Amino acid sequence: MCFEPATMSLLMTGISAASTMMGGVVGMMQANQQADIDRQNAILADENAEDALERSREEETRHRRQSAALFGEQIARMAANGLDVGSGSPLKALGDTKVLEEEDAGRIRESGRREAYTFSVEASNLRSRARSRKRGAIFGLGKSLITGASQFGRNAFGSSAFKTRGRTATKAVN
């Protein structure tokens, strides 16, 4: 089977255009897959944020229990030494213990909030990136379709002015 050079050129141009278009389809599929991965990672980051808050609540509870035990030991020791824990220096020492307990509990809570916030920001960024990948995939596919069609049209019809009923048509300006 032998093709004329013009037919062969047109055939090769069609294959090249189809290849460009398929590249766009493959690019879209890859971008969609990456977007799906980003969405899954965003879900994991949200779960990590919740976990960070839960861990900080548990750590705060554990700290408060330990502080309560220390507070009870201080009262017992002071009372065993005959000190009045309801006034003076013993009362101030017990008050200081409570203040330190609250400061430490606040630091634990704040640390958990900061960690959760970091994960929440990561999740938001991942969701945003997934949306951008989806939009980019659509634009990329459109670009490859237009490029492929343009390539075919330019090579099939654009190399010379084409004839229309014996008249010469002018080429469109690119």
Question: How many domains does the chain contain in total?
Answer: 1
Contact 134, 63 (CB under 8 A): no
Q: What's residue 170's pLDDT?
A: 52
Evaluate whether residue 3 is within a structural domain: no
Residues of the chain with pLDDT under 50: 161-169, 174
Helix (H) or strand (E) holding 168: strand 167-168
Evaluate whether residue 172 is within a structural domain: no
Q: What's residue 15's pLDDT?
A: 81
Evaluate whether residue 18 is within a structural domain: no
Evaluate whether residue 10 is within a structural domain: no
Span 86-109, pLDDT tens digits: 899 999 999 999 999 999 999 999
Give the residues across from 168 on adjacent strands.
Answer: 163
Evaluate whether residue 160 is within a structural domain: no
Evaluate whether residue 71 is within a structural domain: yes
Q: What's residue 158's pLDDT?
A: 65
Q: What's residue 161's pLDDT?
A: 42
Which domain covers residue 99, as residue numbers?
A: 25-150
What is the rounded CA–CA span in Å between residue 125 and residue 132? 10
Evaluate whether residue 96 is within a structural domain: yes
**Tokens at 38, concatenated:** 């980003």
**Tokens at 158, concatenated:** 């654009």
- ∠ CA 141-147-149 to the nearest 5 degrees? 105
Evaluate whether residue 162 is within a structural domain: no
Span 61-83, pLDDT tens digits: 999 999 999 999 999 999 999 99
